[in-house]
Amino acid sequence: MGESKKENLIIHNLPEPEPTITRAGDRKDRDNEELVKVLQSINCSTRIAEDVKYTVRLGERKDNVNYQDKPRPMIVGFRNVQLRNEILRSARNLVKTRYKDVSIGPDLTNKQRQNEAKMRTDAEKLNREMDSADSLNWEWKVIGPKGQRKLIKTRKTTMDRRKRPRSNEGSPQAGPSSKR
């Protein structure tokens, strides 16, 4: 990860302040309050003044756009890498909170995002090109945390195999039940 981004997280779908709040300082205060609530919901207590270097919304704020529907992403720079990593590990718990639509991830460079997109495309291509015998038991996947992902060939799990359509012909359970 880029050295300048190693202490950052990017937060998607964090609600933006109401459009009636027009002063930039008031919007930033409201963003920070919402950030603290999100982090508390996953048991990561953060003191904005001591733990956070900066918070910034990506993209230019336009007066005629309703950001309640699609909030701009927020980058949060932390003073402490350990706190950032703790938050990243706990982020999966957001699904159990009222912030289930919010996602927290590492702040990746453009090159890292492009590499991960290429790996996903390569995995799809390799899976399409695999012969039918191999494709019953093997698949290409992109695994690992964002920024550290790898493309690997892995054995399909039992659940993956169950997704394949099967013929029920000749099965005692095929067709309607004859019990009355």
- Are the C-beta atoms of residues 143 and 152 closer than 8 Å to each other? yes
Whether the pLDDT of residue 103 is over 60: the answer is yes
Residue (of 87, 21, 25) closest to 52 by Cα position: 87
pLDDT of residue 147: 77
pLDDT digits (tens, 9 = 90+) for 6-54: 889 999 999 888 877 778 889 899 999 999 999 999 998 888 889 999 9
Task: Please tell me whether the overall predicted TM-score, pTM, comes out greater than 0.75 for this model.
Answer: no
Parts of the chain belonging to CATH 3.30.70.1820? 3-106
Q: Mean pLDDT in the chain?
A: 82
pLDDT in tens, 115-161: 989 999 999 999 999 998 888 899 999 988 787 889 999 998 766 55
* pLDDT score of 66: 64
Q: Please, are residues 76 and 14 in contact by the beta-carbon 8 Å criterion?
A: no
Judge whether residue 98 has pLDDT over 90. Answer: yes
Contacts for 35-40 with beta carbons within 8 Å, 24 or more apart?
A: 35/11, 35/74, 35/76, 37/99, 38/11, 38/14, 38/94, 38/99, 38/102, 38/104, 39/87
Q: What is the band of 180 on the pLDDT scale with cuts at 50, 70, 90? A: very low
Class of the domain covering 3-106: alpha beta
Task: Please check the confidence at residue 173 and state whether its pLDDT lies above 50.
Answer: no
85-97 pLDDT per residue, tens: 999 999 989 999 9
Q: What is the Cα–Cα distance from 31 to 16, expressed in whole angstroms?
A: 7
pLDDT for the residue numbered 123: 93
Pick from 163, 162, 126: nearest CA to 141: 126
